[in-house]
Amino acid sequence: MKQLLQQFIDTRAYTEALCQPLETEDYIPQPADFVSPPKWHLAHTTWFYEEFVLVPHASGYKPYHPKFRFLFNSYYNHVGSRTARASRGDITRPTVKEVFDYRHCVNKYLEELIPDILNDDKIVETITLGINHEQQHQELLITDLKYTLSLNPLLPVYQEGYSLVADTRKAKGYIQIAAGNYNIGADNDGFTYDNEHQKHQVYLNDFSISTALVTNGEFLEFINDGGYNKFQYWHDEALAWLNENQISSPLYWQKMDDKWHQYTLSGLIKVESEAILAHISFYEANAYANWQGLRLPTEQEWEVAARQFSWGKRWEWTQSAYTPYPGFKIASGAIGEYNGKFMVNQKVLRGASTATYPGHSRVTYRNFFHPHLRWQLTGIRLVDDSHK
Instruction: Rule CB under 8 A: say whether 267 interacts with a second copy.
Output: no
State the Cα–Cα distance between residues 376 and 378, nearest whole angstrom. 5
CB of 234 to a second copy, least distance (A): 7
The candidate with the shortest Cα–Cα distance to 350, out of 339, 340, 364, 338, is 364
Residues 12-31 interacting with a second copy (rule: CB under 8 A): 23-29, 31
Q: In angstroms, rounded to a whole number, what is the distance separating the alpha carbons of residues 155 and 143?
A: 15
Q: DSSP alpha helices (H): ranges in the chain?
A: 4-19, 38-49, 55-57, 68-72, 96-113, 121-150, 216-224, 236-245, 282-292, 299-305
Q: How far is the CB of 157 from a second copy (least distance, A)?
A: 10
Between residues 63 and 326, which has the closer beta carbon with respect to a second copy?
Answer: 326
Burial (0-12, 13-18, 19+ Cβ within 10 Å), 287: buried
Sketch the per residue contact string, 310 through 349, with a second copy: x for CB under 8 A, - otherwise. ---------xxx-xx-xx--x-----xx---xxxxx-x--
Residue partners of 155: CB distance under 8 A and separation at least 6: 149, 263, 267, 268
Cα separation, 317 vs 352, whole angstroms: 11
For residue 115, the minimal CB distance to a second copy (Å) is 34
Neighbours of 98 (CB within 10 A): 14
Please tell me whether residue 217 binds a second copy under the rule CB under 8 A. Answer: no
At 108, is the secondary structure helix, strand, or coil?
helix
β pairing state of 383-384 and 347-351: unpaired
Residue closer to a second copy by CB (options 169, 347) is 347
Touching a second copy, residues 281-300 (CB under 8 A): 282-283, 286, 290, 295
By CB under 8 A, what part of segment 40-79 binds a second copy? 67, 70-71, 75, 77-78
Q: Toward a second copy, which CB reaches closer, 282 or 302?
A: 282
Q: How many residues bind a second copy (CB under 8 A)?
A: 69
From residue 105 to residue 144, the character string flagging contacts with a second copy as x (rule: CB under 8 A) and all else as - is ----------------------------------------
Q: Does 205 bind a second copy (CB under 8 A)?
A: yes
Task: Determine, following the binding rule CB under 8 A, whether residue 89 of this chain makes contact with a second copy.
Answer: yes
DSSP count for the chain of H helices, then E strands: 10, 12
Nearest to 139 by CA among 310, 352, 317, 285: 352
Residues that bind a second copy (CB under 8 A): 23-29, 31, 39, 67, 70-71, 75, 77-78, 83, 87, 89-96, 148-149, 151-154, 156, 181, 200-203, 205, 231-232, 234-239, 282-283, 286, 290, 295, 319-321, 323-324, 326-327, 330, 336-337, 341-345, 347, 371, 385
